[in-house]
A and B are shown apart, each in its own frame.
Chain A
């Protein structure tokens, strides 16, 4: 294993993490809810459509950030290397997988781990493992 020092950003990432933690804290303390993005978005697609207002508000907040950010500074680089076909497959897998697994990097990875939930630990280890393995296969076995 080689460390990619050129792209390593410990301070910015720690700062960003603290902000994410603050958002999660705000949400549980005031709204009494777990800030799991896949659960919040997935709930909007439920036939019963419970609590549409706050779900939409959270999503509007997330989507608006880059637009507001641009008023003050240039957005940091954001690069998607995956091709169109791979993106569609990846999106479908993320959509189906996070709903069957009841959470994603936020709900299980951050909120669940913070709550010391064994279920979330199992989920996080599972998606981390298959994420690592997928990148290994794509980059080093298939050489994409």
Chain B
């Protein structure tokens, strides 16, 4: 139950951060990605602020076996840089550049009541579902 509560609070704080940072405004994100035009460097500050808090926390967390709620710590196990990682990320970047929306802000836009945000989220969920359908048979074969 506490697990559920902390996830809810983390989601709330994360979303508030996105709004305060300006990340929930796709036009501003496009302004950051437009290096050759009128460039808005604000997003660099979002990354810097987030990493400044997260980096020391992860350094501390890595040494622990269990979380504060006594749950198993789950760090990604994959180490190799492969075609899936780079190819998937390149595709994601194209979508990000086209709309100015990545998954976190997409969910915030859902609550903002922007119809275009809803359309994006539905398309994004379809994309994720497509991955499950395309990738599952492959995983089972291995």
A31-B71 contact given A19-B17, A24-B50, A93-B91, CB 8 Å threshold: yes
Complex Cα distance, B16 from A68, in Å, reads 10
Task: List CB contacts (< 8 Å) of B1-21 with chain A.
Answer: 2-21
Complex Cα distance, B72 from A28, in Å, reads 10
Q: How many A-B residue pairs have CB under 8 A?
A: 501
Q: Is A129 part of the binding interface, using a Cβ–Cβ cutoff of 8 Å? A: yes
A14-B46 contact given A104-B104, A123-B86, CB 8 Å threshold: yes
A46-B132 contact given A8-B41, A18-B17, A28-B57, CB 8 Å threshold: yes
Most chain B CB within 10 A, of A19, A22, A118, A123, is at A19
A75-B112 contact given A29-B67, A61-B11, A92-B130, CB 8 Å threshold: yes
A10-B5 contact given A21-B54, A24-B50, A93-B91, CB 8 Å threshold: no
Which of the residues A9, A20, A109, A129 comes within 8 Å of B42, measured between beta carbons? A9
Q: Are the C-beta atoms of B15 and A64 separated by less than 8 Å?
A: yes
Q: Are the C-beta atoms of A127 and B93 separated by less than 8 Å?
A: yes
Give the Cβ gap from A141 to chain B, nearest Cβ, in Å: 10
* A residues in contact with B78, CB < 8 Å: 102, 119
Which of the residues B37, B48, B98 comes within 8 Å of A2, measured between beta carbons? B37
A17-B88 contact given A32-B71, A97-B95, CB 8 Å threshold: no
Which of the residues A13, A46, A55, A140 comes within 8 Å of B36, measured between beta carbons? A140
Q: Are the C-beta atoms of B54 and A77 separated by less than 8 Å?
A: no
Show the binding face of B for A, using Cβ within 8 Å: 2-28, 30-31, 33-43, 45-55, 57-58, 61-62, 66-69, 71-76, 78-81, 84-104, 106-114, 116-117, 119-132, 135-136
